[in-house]
Every structure is written in C-alpha cells, then in structure tokens.
Homo-oligomer: A and B are copies of this chain.
Amino acid sequence: MLRVTSRDNSFLKALAGQANSPAPIWLMRQAGRYLPEYREVRSKVASFLDLCRTPELAAEVTLQPLRRFDLDAAIVFSDILIVPYALGQRVEFVEGEGPKLEPVRDARSVAGLSRSGATEVLAPVYETIERVTAALPKALPLIGFCGAPWTVATYMVEGGGSKEQAAARLFAYRERATFQRLIDLLVETSADYLVNQVKAGARALQIFDSWAGSLPEDEFERWCIVPTKRLVELVKARLPEIPIIGFPRGAGVLAERYARETDIDAIGCDTSMPVGWMRRLQEHLPVQGNLDPLLLVAGGEALHTRVGAILETLGQQPFIFNLGHGILPETPIEHVTRLVNLVKKS
C-alpha cells in the first residue's frame, strides 16, 4: 500500500511546518451523530463501545465524512475511554447519559488495573486503522489518537464526566503517589497504543486533553505537561518522524508553556483562545483550531465573518483549520459543506 508523504497532503505539510493555501481542514468528531449515515450504522449495534470495537463498522463511519466533504484528513473512529477498558476497568456508554465507569478511588483499585489484556482489547482499533488506510485515497492521511493521561484519569476516578473534575483533582491532592501510579500506567499504555496505531497505518497522532483547563498551574505542570512530555518522548523514541498534535483544551494562558515544554509538533486550540494569541504560538509551532462548534450550528453571516478572521490571522503560517471542540450532533450538514468550501476557496 502506498503511504502518503508530507509532499502530497496539506495537513501533513502544515504539521511539518509549512504554510498552505488553502489551509488544510478536518473537524474534531467529524464522524458522528450529525450524519444520517452514521446514525444508520450506529443503530446496527447495541452500544457505542460495540461500534468502536467492530472494525468493519468503525472503518465505515471513519470514512463517511470524507465522502461528503473535501477534508484533508480522516481520524479513526474510537473513544478515549477504550484505554481504561483495556486496563480492565468496567466502562459503559449509557445512551443519553454519557460514559459510566466503575470508579477508581484508592490504591487497591489502581493496583487492580492491568495491561495484560490491553493488546487484545485494543486490537479492533488497529484493524479499523488497517481497513481505513486501505480504503482511503492515498493523498488522505489517517489520524490516530488517545486521551491525555490526565483527562483519561479524570473519567477513571470520577466514574464518568463531571463538573470541574473535582473527584480526580481531590484524589490527586490527597493521594499524590497513588494518582502518580495511575498517570504513569496511562502514559505507558497510551504510548504503546499510539505506536501501534501508527504501525497499523496512522500518519499523525492527536492527544486529547479535554480537561486540561481544570488544573491550577502547578497541578497543570504535574498532571498535564510532564505526563504529556513523557508520552511524546516514548512515542518518538520508537517513531521519531511521527507528527503529534497536542490539544490541551481550556489551558488558557498555560497553553504557551504546554507548547514549549511537551515536545508536541502542533497545538490544537480551543474556542476560547484568541486568534491573536494563536498567532503568537505559531511563532513556535503549527497551530490548529478553533471555530466555535456552536457557530457552525448557527451558520449565517457570523460564521462567514469568523472563518475569514481566523484564516486571515493564521493562514500565512503553518495552520490547520478545525473546530475548537467536537462537532455537535445538531449541526446542519449544509453548514459543514459551506465551511469546507469557505476554507478551500480562501
């Protein structure tokens, strides 16, 4: 199978430090509920996790948005909570309620987690990646991903999503050593997981730190920067060429330290980051982002104006157009078409 080189694709060119006109575009959660063909496939399986773990179907939904829109990358359809599942934690996705996990709350439950079954649990993801890369036009790279150790740990400790990640933050304050063991386990497991995704065909990686924003600076350093840096090091030790995007959602002022200190190749910026500040980060590394997903739902003249402002400020340097957060289920498909056209015509 032919592999895409950075010469062929503006997304990979941007990650390699080149400016592109037009800018490349992909959308976080571009495979998802806003597409009727996704909902059709989803209805065939009992649970969301079953969909992630059925390579034929996961590959199909990964490819769906590429058939509709002129996007510059695919991203494997999976979920960041597949890693705790692979470590032996009970994970369920309850329809309309989000994920439910058996909470990890003490040293004993951390000690009960094990990487021994991880390869088997994660194998369907690798098979999905193989299927997608076989089916994709050769100019289109596939992105592999994982959750950042901190963000995955918040779900593991809270037992699901939460307001301000209070249980995980309190656990981290009270039981530093135990929480550190959990983070270390996630770093090691995630490194193997990312490396295997690349071996299966992924050409770039993204680390989603969705809850980075709930950490004060010293905790941000300890649980976001240091583990991410270690994770990147472990991956790069085995795959020096693979580009890695970090997405420290909500990091605010601390995004600059994250960009400088973690050895990532590009930084994803959330909706709250001013484009002038993204421009400043661009002096150091390529940036990705950051249209408000709600503006893509709303559409209208405001969408047009905002897309223009983002491209005007960031398009002259290495830049990847994206949303500042995942695409929302209620997004009208014609707004996505319009967005991609706006970016491609720029």
Q: Is A306 an interface residue when CB atoms closer than 8 A count as contact?
A: yes
Q: How far is the CB of A295 from chain B (nearest CB, A)?
A: 6
**Which of A170, A215, A252 has the largest number of chain B CB atoms within 10 A?**
A252
Indicate if the CB atoms of B274 and A217 lie closer than 8 Å.
yes
Q: How many copies does the complex hold?
A: 2
B166, B251, B252, B274: which contacts A294 (Cβ < 8 A)?
Answer: B166
Point out the residues of chain B lying under 8 angstroms from A262, CB to CB: none
Give Cα distance in the complex from A250 to B271, angstroms. 12
With CB as the reference atom, state the residue of chain B lying closest to A303.
B173
Tally of A interface residues using CB under 8 Å: 36
Give Cα distance in the complex from A169 to B173, angstroms. 34
Q: Is A292 an interface residue when CB atoms closer than 8 A count as contact?
A: yes
Indicate if the CB atoms of A298 and B250 lie closer than 8 Å.
no
Contact code string A206-218 (vs B, CB < 8 Å = 1, else 0): 0000000111111
Q: Is A302 an interface residue when CB atoms closer than 8 A count as contact?
A: yes
Contact code string A246-272 (vs B, CB < 8 Å = 1, else 0): 000011111000000000000000011
Point out the residues of chain B lying under 8 angstroms from A219, CB to CB: 292
Q: Is A144 an interface residue when CB atoms closer than 8 A count as contact?
A: no
Point out the residues of chain B lying under 8 angstroms from A234, CB to CB: none
Q: Is A324 an interface residue when CB atoms closer than 8 A count as contact?
A: yes
Q: Is A275 an interface residue when CB atoms closer than 8 A count as contact?
A: yes
Q: How far is the CB of A288 from chain B (nearest CB, A)?
A: 16
Indicate if the CB atoms of A306 and B218 lie closer than 8 Å.
yes
Contact code string A272-313 (vs B, CB < 8 Å = 1, else 0): 111101000000000000101011011010100010010000
Q: Is A108 an interface residue when CB atoms closer than 8 A count as contact?
A: no
Q: Is A174 an interface residue when CB atoms closer than 8 A count as contact?
A: yes
Indicate if the CB atoms of B253 and A273 lie closer than 8 Å.
yes
Q: How far is the CB of A88 from chain B (nearest CB, A)?
A: 28
Give Cα distance in the complex from A292 to B170, angstroms. 10
Point out the residues of chain B lying under 8 angstroms from A292, CB to CB: 169, 216, 219
Given contacts A216-B271, A217-B274, A272-B216, contact A174 B298 (CB under 8 A): yes
Point out the residues of chain B lying under 8 angstroms from A170, CB to CB: 294, 297-298
Q: How far is the CB of A106 from chain B (nearest CB, A)?
A: 15
Give Cα distance in the complex from A215 to B324, angstroms. 12
Indicate if the CB atoms of A295 and B254 lie closer than 8 Å.
no
Give Cα distance in the complex from A292 to B277, angstroms. 26
Given contacts A252-B253, A253-B253, contact A294 B217 (CB under 8 A): no
With CB as the reference atom, state the residue of chain B lying closest to A280.
B253
Point out the residues of chain B lying under 8 angstroms from A309, CB to CB: 218
Given contacts A174-B298, A294-B170, A302-B173, contact A253 B277 (CB under 8 A): yes
